[in-house]
Structure 1
Amino acid sequence: MTRTPASSFLSSALTVAAAGALVAAMAGCVATAPEPASSSTAQGGIRPLGDGFLGSVTTPTPEATVNPEPGSWAGVVPPAGYRVALITAGADAATTTLATAVTTWAERESVALTVLTASTDDEVEQRIDEAVGMAPDLVVGAGSRIVDVFTLLTGQHLQQQFLIIGAELPEPTGNTTAVVWKGASFRGTGLSTADELDPDAVTPARARDAITAGVASVLHDLTGIVLRLPS
């Protein structure tokens, strides 16, 4: 059976997603909150998060935005044998900076990293399929150009954990976590404002914090949320 390319239904699917969000809000739907991070929920041997990681939030609800204090994720590193697939789209400066941060982090932490590059939405769709087929511990999407397709497809692979850095999904499912900051919080075509997409905001230091904080959150089972790094 031939699947319709992502580019042919992005616009209509995003419109349906927005309408669904409005209906859910009017109905007063309340989702079940994930468990808070603790030594029992984190993977064995993972260093605890700092007290300021969740900010003022005790137990984040799905899709919640939390504001971790700088350095509250320090020292939280993946276990031996951790595998990551990185998906990028385009060769713009912001995407390149994010990808470099991920590859540098992977080398430093001895993470097995596979890099999958794309140029179009259809290629992003193909790279997601390839990444999920590898069954890595985590699939990382870097930058704004992967957002529209990730919005459509991450919810179809609930067994796979995804992390987006430098952008976010408008309605993430419980398996998709994002790390954003001022100027790097693109939410999708037709949904974002100009101040959410500032290439100059994506610096090497920000990108480094994004991958380390995001992975720390995933390792502690704090997923389906958005981490907003301090300005």
Structure 2
Amino acid sequence: MIAALEFHLIDFSRNWRGTVFGSFVVPLLTMLGFGVGVGGYVQGGVDGVSYLEFLVPGLLASTALQIALGESTWPVMANMEWIKLYPAQAATPLRPVDIVGGHLLFALLRVIGGSSAFLVVGVLFGALPSAWALACLPIAVLLGLAVAAPVFAYSIAVPTEVYLSLLMRFAVIPMTLFSGVFFPIETMPVVLRWVAYVTPLWHAVDLCRTVTLGRAPDWAVAGHLLYLALWAVAGITLAVRGFHRRLGV
């Protein structure tokens, strides 16, 4: 698994410069556009805090989601179907669990890097009033694993890249819009509220908001963590089985 991770790190070392710039520019523009721009029209804040303080933890979780998805969709299909990286790795002593685990670990490192950049920008904007905001990093990692692992299984199971576009259009975009990132889900109809409860993103958003605002944890925290862990375990299991089937080993 470490050998598979090493391959992805060496490959990333050739183009990391382009991603570093974007890691800071994207959260900066997002906070300026939504937190400062839109937030200027939100009188009285949300749930007793300014709109910027309400928004930032949701955006951080959403950023972790997007990074995890970016590494578990087209790159996974490309490695299996187009450039044949996974079949080549399977011809070595690497097992399917090593191939999956190495790439997942790399995806989680990407999540840590992007989430850390978002935290830095959030601190510069004064949008993270509690030092507990650092706990957003392990939450982002758990969310990344809960999302990337099942999408790994999905990406090698679908026949064409069209299905990846469908995933983004009909699952990821609605989940981002209606999981409490931009407004409290209590303002939505009951049916949509329950849809938000099912998505892993809402659970991570609520966790990040709890720690960044310095609120006392309650029983719901354990429920959020357990739910995300179940997504991660189920996703890893399905991904490893799928790789076994596709690689014929």
Give the structure with the larger strand fraction: 1
Q: Bin the TM-score by the shorter chain.
A: under 0.3
Give the structure with the larger helix fraction: 2
Query: Based on CA coordinates, which of the two structures has the bigger radius of gyration?
Result: 2
What's the TM-score, normalizing by structure 1?
0.25
Work out which structure has the larger RCO, using CA pairs closer than 8 Å and 6 or more positions apart in sequence.
2
What's the TM-score, normalizing by structure 2?
0.24
